[in-house]
Structure 1
């Protein structure tokens, strides 16, 4: 019987996950398919039940469901439990729903692939405190990054992330803006800059230094307003294409036990979107 997978979120029309996973299935001659499913917040429980009842073998989870889906799963991987967010669900052979988070390590893989391995001592600012921010923060810490700070519109949410992380600093956006020159890696994790949103920039980059690495996990458009300002100020910029591909590849491996070609996929996504994912 042909297996099928999905990505759920709201909005979902912008997602390139279906084309990416479909190509991997084709490349590796796996008889499976992958579809996008738009799910409103109030319909998440119904959607999880329906996906399982209709025979999905697994699915990805994107905004705004990464944290909200946890109560509807049977078990959660220990790292995803710490992060408080899930982006990958595996339907086990006995029907058990297991949640994982591949976002964080996907970002770290992308960062190190693009910018090198000698980054672990650098001061890092994470902007945002939602599911993506938590995934990245915990993955960075697990990989040996030691100097993490978080700034968020709601200071209490930033403080909660740092408390759960058991290390680092929580800042208001205003404080982070003032201290921006002290950070060597700045990671923007909010929806600001997505083609499907009208969210304003979370903070000004007027104090960023030209030696800083500025990342935005949004991958469409390639050059978000946040990255455009960082680029104008001479910073090295990294958009979300690498993270998108690497996190997807880790999900794919959990479903199929097969490893897709990430380097080729990054190049293909870049070509579709019109440019490189690294702007030096």
Structure 2
């Protein structure tokens, strides 16, 4: 069972394995059609396309009429049906990949763990590593018979916006922001019209988890780099712009042998939807 990362050589040996499902998670925050267009041009043999906006996210407005963020979590039952549609069973090995250092594939990795499925890994280095290894890309697609994956106890933790608000006073947990430093400081109005960060949050840009070649750093290096941010993972909250790239930090923590941090799914986009919530700018 592969539960964090998988390399291109190993994946290439299982392209025809009926117990493996490969999902292409390419996406562009500025162009919603870019992922599917790229998939049509070429993808790993047997892969199916997973849309970050629709398959891996839920309704932006909740039943209470409140905005839940740009990429709120899908309903658990709806996610299970989506996973079954991709042919995933309880014993399926799932592999997710993208072309962006794992920033979107990690979201799928986390969601499967959210519904209790541990056998999911991200292709380390993504399509760049796949092609560098001389592996082929194809254009043809093929469907799969529906799977029978069932919901199991969650393997991950989440916190609500109310819990993050309460933590402002309690300071019992450390919020870690996965956005680029200019967004964290409040200097990128193109992406974040309301810039800045949650007061007290620390910054760990998700790309800092990667080597210059786009692969994840080894466990020892990741552990050393996360160590100054919080005393223990169980007292850490990972967030980002909309709850997607925060999953990259959660994957990196798992690789480092530091499991237990929680995801704040609504993240910055939900936080600033209420002008009554405080905002900090500049460096922490």
Query: Normalising to structure 1: TM-score of the pair?
Result: 0.32
User: Which structure has the highest strand share of the two?
Assistant: 1
Q: Does 1 or 2 have the higher relative contact order (CA < 8 Å, sep 6+)?
A: 2
